[in-house]
Structure 1
């Protein structure tokens, strides 16, 4: 009876461990507010990933366009995500995002490796990633909400 109980207990403990691990969503990192961004928040959605810097004048002028795009496409499975080119973290990132009135999610960790984004030495740069996590287009220079929406419509087949 003792051996059987031990076997059952090992099985139960093993199942509990699996359930605990399965419930821990993979993190993309944290945003400009220090909140965790779980992978499941971005999976299955098209991503507009924009790299910006405070010293980049075109970056600063396109942020209102990206804010507008984020509001416009919120219900269409499209997420606008920002990444600070200079790698600002914590309070510095939060302060910079607030100073530029960024309304969309800004990741503290660069998602380039996850989405196989090529490094760009030019700013601003915007990457369009499909709902399967594949890079579909790289756009250099300042973008508009209308232009990005048109690119997305074309890539998505006019959905």
Structure 2
């Protein structure tokens, strides 16, 4: 009986861990974005659309932030839900150099839906949403806010 209980506990634990490490789907290039790539790091998740002028203007800022910090991951999400070739074309036209998820992680990360664009979420390494920033962001502004949030921990 005890052995059966141990087996059940081990299986349940394995299933729970598997659910926690579920991948995020593919990026704009069709490459898998694994949970391991994003776990234990600060996440900057930016919602954008092709038709959004401020979204277009902030892309170079997000590219700079992504290139300057290895302790965080900048991730884009297309507000209009573009997929496949359409998503890749839009990403290339805007010059986005960070990963753009094909699937919206809002439910997984418990992100409130924003009707304003651009919308950027700052998520700590424990998976807690620490801030939602509306409107065009700069690399310097995001750096400053991230530093402030990190000091509050």
TM range (shorter): 0.7 to 0.9
- Displacement, 1:26? 2.2
Deviations 1:65-90 (A, max 9, x none): 0000001112xx11100000000001
Please, which of 97, 107, 112 is the counterpart of residue 91 of structure 2? 97
Structure 2's unaligned 5+ residue stretches are 1-6
Matches within 5 A, 1:1-159: 26-74=22-70, 77-157=71-151
Q: Distance in 2 between matches of 1:54 and 1:117?
A: 21
> Rg: which structure is higher?
1
Question: Which aligned runs of 4 or more in structure 1 are off by greater than 6 angstroms?
Answer: none
Q: Separation in 2 of the partners of 1:26 and 1:117?
A: 17
TM-score, normalised to structure 2's length? 0.85
Q: How many residues align?
A: 138
Matches of 1:139 and 1:131, distance apart in 2: 18
The alpha carbon displacement at 1:158 in A equals 8.0
Q: Distance in 2 between matches of 1:65 and 1:151?
A: 14
Q: Give the CA deviation at 1:32.
A: 0.3
RMSD: 2.0
Unmatched 5+ stretches in structure 1: 1-10
